[in-house]
C-alpha cells in the first residue's frame, strides 16, 4: 500500500520505517528541512535499537522516502498518518495545534484535487478523546465530505522506547478507532501482515480508541508509582521491595511487569499522558483521585535520593559546595537517548543548585543532555561529562545510578572503590546486589531495600583486592 507519515519524530520515523519494511511504499513528511536532508542522506536522527537496519533497507529499495512537500505525500498515499507533536500545555492539556493545522492543509489539498479520491487520515499521535471529531470538522470546513473524500481514524501507538521496532513489527494488539467500515477495512488490510501470529486487531469507535491509549499509560504509570510507595514503606518497616515484588508478581492477576521500584517514571509518554488524562477528567468535572496521587508521588520520587545525598555529604547548612558527584545514566530508561522528564535531570538541577559538581556518563544520552542542560556552570555548581563509567567516578565523593543500563550492572567494583574518595553509592534503580556491595566495602543506599553498611573495614578493601 501507499502510505504517508506526517512528522518524523520518534513515533513517525519508527512508523514509517516499519511500514516500509513490510513492503509498503512510504513517504515521510517534515517541515524541518535539515532533518529531511539528514534522513534523505541516510542518517537516522533518533537512537532506537534495530531501526537503522530497516531504515537503510527501506531507502536502498526505494520504499522509504523523505520530503518537505505535503502535497507530494498526500497525492501518492492511500493512508496518511499524523505523527505530530502534542506537547502539554501549562494546564496539562495536549496542544493539538500541529495536528489540526496539518489536517486543515490536507483538507485544502483534497478539496483542490477531487481527482485524488478517497483518503484515510490516521491520528497516530497521542490525542485527547474527541480529537478525531475535531480533525473531521477541520477537514470538512475545506468543503470535502466525510465518508466520501476521507475518513478519520484513531490508531494509538503502544511503542516502548528501546524495543519500539519489535513492538511495531510484532504488536500485542492493534487498536483501530473508526465508525467507517470502509476505513476499517483499509486499516485492517494494512496491519494484517503484522499480526500473522494471531494477535488481535481490535476495531472500536474513535473515542474508545483515544481513551485506550491514555488508560493504558496511566495504568502502567500507576503500577510503577504504587511500587515506589511500597518501596518507601519497606524502608520504614525493614522489608525488601525486591522480595515483595517477586511475591506479588507471580500472581497472574497482577503480573510481574512494571513492578520495579526506583526514582520514578519519565520519558515522553507517561508524564504527558497522565497529565492529559487528568486534565480531561477535570474538563468533564470528574475528580480522578488516583491520578492526583500518581502525579504527586512521582514528582517526589524522582528527587527522593537528593535528601539522602545531602545528609551524607552536605555541610551544616545543607550545602554540597566542593562535592563531586558521579552520575551513571541520563536517559529516562535504557536503550534510548531520550531525556524528556528524566529523573536524572531533576537530580542534576537540585544537586548543582546546592553547589555540587556533577560528572555524568551515559552510553547514548549525553548529547541530548547537553542540548537541554548545557555544560559547565549550572546554578551554583557545575555539570561535566565523562568518557566512561570509570572516568566519571574518579575522585568523586559519591556515585549515583540514575538509569539501569546493562553495562552498569557488572562493573569492576574494586576499581570503582579505588576511584571514589569514599565508598558511597546511591542506587536509584536497584541495579546492584546489596550483599555484593557490602562485601566490596561500599556504603550502599537503594530504593525500598534495607540500608547496607560495609561488611569489611573500608581500609582493608585495597588490601583484599591486592591479595
Q: How far is the C-alpha of 145 from the C-alpha of 143, rounded, in Å? A: 7
**What b/e sequence results for 107-127 when a residue is b if at least 16 CB atoms lie within 10 Å of its CB, and e otherwise?**
bbbbeeeeeeeebbbbbbbbb
192/221 same-domain check: no
Q: What confidence score (pLDDT) does residue 299 get?
A: 95
6 SS3 class: strand
Instruction: Flag whether 26 is in a domain.
Output: yes
462/378 same-domain check: yes
Q: Lowest-pLDDT range, 82-91, 239-248, 310-319? A: 82-91
| R_g (Cα) of the chain, nearest Å | 25
pLDDT at residue 90 is higher than 90? no
pLDDT at residue 92 is higher than 90? no
- Write down the H helix ranges in 149-205: 164-169, 181-191
Phi, psi of 312 (to 5 degrees): -80, -35
Q: What confidence score (pLDDT) does residue 119 get?
A: 98
pLDDT at residue 464 is higher than 60? no
Neighbours of 253 (CB within 10 A): 5
CA-nearest of 253, 248, 212 to 227 is: 248
For the chain, give the percent of residues with pLDDT over 70: 97
**392 in Cβ contact with 326 (< 8 Å):** yes
Q: What is the DSSP letter of 160?
A: P
pLDDT at residue 14 is higher than 60? yes
**241 in Cβ contact with 448 (< 8 Å):** yes
Average pLDDT of every residue of the chain: 94
pLDDT at residue 460 is higher than 60? no
pLDDT at residue 466 is higher than 90? no
Domain boundary among the residues 204, 226, 254 is at 204
Confidence label for 304 from pLDDT (cuts 50, 70 and 90): very high
pLDDT at residue 203 is higher than 90? yes
Confidence label for 5 from pLDDT (cuts 50, 70 and 90): very high
218/104 same-domain check: no
pLDDT at residue 459 is higher than 60? no
336/403 same-domain check: yes
141/228 same-domain check: no
Q: What confidence score (pLDDT) does residue 384 get?
A: 98
Q: What confidence score (pLDDT) does residue 88 get?
A: 81
pLDDT at residue 452 is higher than 80? no
pLDDT at residue 463 is higher than 50? no
User: Between 245 and 91, whose confidence is greater?
Assistant: 245
- To the query of whether residue 234 is one of the catalytic residues in this protein, the response is no
For the segment 409-422, what is each residue's pLDDT rounded down to a tens digit?
Answer: 999 999 999 999 99
Domain that holds residue 329: 305-466
Domain boundary among the residues 204, 224, 247 is at 204
For the segment 257-266, what is each residue's pLDDT rounded down to a tens digit?
Answer: 999 999 999 9
Q: How far is the C-alpha of 47 from the C-alpha of 31, rounded, in Å? A: 21
Domain boundary among the residues 139, 169, 204 is at 204
Q: How far is the C-alpha of 1 from the C-alpha of 80, rounded, in Å? A: 11
Q: What confidence score (pLDDT) does residue 467 get?
A: 37
pLDDT at residue 20 is higher than 80? yes
Q: What confidence score (pLDDT) does residue 465 get?
A: 42
CATH code of residue 125? 3.40.50.720
Q: What confidence score (pLDDT) does residue 461 get?
A: 46
- Grid cell of 29 as nine digits: 513528511
For the chain, give the percent of residues with pLDDT over 90: 92
145 SS3 class: coil
Crossing angle of the two packed helices 10-21 and 51-60, in degrees rounded to 10:
60
Instruction: Flag whether 209 is in a domain.
Output: no
400/278 same-domain check: no
- Grid cell of 109 as nine digits: 489539498
For the segment 278-296, what is each residue's pLDDT rounded down to a tens digit?
Answer: 999 999 999 999 999 999 9
287/324 same-domain check: no
For the segment 348-373, what is each residue's pLDDT rounded down to a tens digit?
Answer: 999 999 999 999 999 999 999 999 99
Active-site option among 18, 234, 269, 446: 269
Q: State the total domains in the chain.
A: 3
293/259 same-domain check: yes
Helices and strands in the chain: count of H runs, count of E runs: 19, 15
Amino acid at each position: 500500500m501507499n502510505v504517508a507519515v506526517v512528522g518524523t519524530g520518534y513515533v513517525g520515523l519508527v512508523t514509517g520505517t516499519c511500514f516500509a519494511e513490510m513492503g509498503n511504499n512510504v513517504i515521510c513528511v517534515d517541515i524541518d528541512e535539515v532533518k529531511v536532508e539528514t534522513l534523505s542522506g541516510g542518517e537516522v536522527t533518533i537512537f532506537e535499537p534495530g531501526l537503522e537496519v530497516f531504515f537503510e533497507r527501506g531507502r536502498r529499495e526505494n520504499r522509504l522516502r523523505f520530503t518537505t512537500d505535503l502535497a507530494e505525500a498526500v497525492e501518492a498515499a492511500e493512508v496518511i498518518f499524523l505523527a505530530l507533536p502534542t506537547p502539554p500545555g501549562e494546564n496539562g492539556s495536549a496542544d493539538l495545534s500541529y495536528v489540526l493545522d496539518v489536517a486543515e492543509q490536507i483538507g485544502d489539498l483534497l478539496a483542490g484535487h477531487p481527482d485524488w479520491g478517497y483518503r484515510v487520515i490516521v491520528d497516530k499521535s497521542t490525542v485527547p478523546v474527541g480529537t478525531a471529531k475535531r480533525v473531521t470538522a477541520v477537514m470538512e470546513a475545506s468543503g470535502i465530505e466525510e465518508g466520501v473524500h476521507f475518513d478519520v481514524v484513531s490508531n494509538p501507538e503502544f511503542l516502548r522506547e528501546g524495543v519500539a521496532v519489535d513492538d511495531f513489527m510484532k504488536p500485542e494488539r492493534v487498536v483501530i478507532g473508526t465508525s467507517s467500515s470502509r476505513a476499517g477495512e483499509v486499516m485492517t488490510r494494512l496491519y494484517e501482515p503484522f499480526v500473522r501470529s494471531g494477535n488481535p486487531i481490535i476495531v472500536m469507535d474513535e473515542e474508545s480508541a483515544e481513551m485506550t491509549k491514555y488508560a493504558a499509560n496511566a495504568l502502567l504509570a500507576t503500577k510503577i508509582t504504587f511500587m515506589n510507595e511500597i518501596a518507601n514503606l519497606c524502608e520504614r518497616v525493614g522489608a525488601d521491595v525486591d522480595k515483595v515484588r517477586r511475591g506479588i508478581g507471580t500472581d497472574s492477576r497482577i503480573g510481574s511487569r512494571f513492578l520495579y521500584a526506583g526514582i520514578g517514571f519519565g520519558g515522553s509518554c507517561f508524564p504527558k499522558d497522565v497529565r492529559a488524562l487528568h486534565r480531561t477528567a477535570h474538563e468533564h468535572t470528574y475528580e480522578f483521585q488516583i491520578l492526583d496521587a500518581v502525579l504527586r508521588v512521582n514528582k517526589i520520587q524522582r528527587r527522593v535520593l537528593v535528601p539522602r545525598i545531602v545528609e551524607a555529604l552536605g555541610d551544616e547548612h545543607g550545602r554540597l559546595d566542593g562535592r563531586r558527584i558521579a552520575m551513571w545514566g541520563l536517559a529516562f530508561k535504557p536503550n534510548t537517548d531520550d531525556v524528556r522528564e528524566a529523573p536524572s535531570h531533576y537530580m542534576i538541577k537540585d544537586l548543582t543548585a546546592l553547589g555540587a559538581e556533577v560528572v555524568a556518563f551515559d552510553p547514548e544520552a549525553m548529547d541530548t543532555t547537553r542540548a537541554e542542560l548545557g555544560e559547565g556552570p549550572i546554578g551554583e555548581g557545575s555539570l561535566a561529562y565523562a568518557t566512561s563509567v570509570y572516568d566519571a567516578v574518579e575522585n568523586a565523593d559519591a556515585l549515583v545510578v540514575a538509569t539501569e543500563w546493562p553495562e552498569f550492572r557488572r562493573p569492576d567494583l574494586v576499581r570503582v572503590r579505588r576511584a571514589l574518595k569514599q565508598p558511597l553509592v546511591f542506587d536509584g534503580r536497584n541495579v546492584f546486589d546489596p550483599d555484593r556491595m557490602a562485601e566490596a566495602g561500599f556504603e550502599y543506599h537503594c530504593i525500598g531495600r534495607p540500608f547496607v553498611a560495609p561488611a569489611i573495614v573500608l581500609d582493608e578493601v585495597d588490601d583484599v583486592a591486592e591479595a
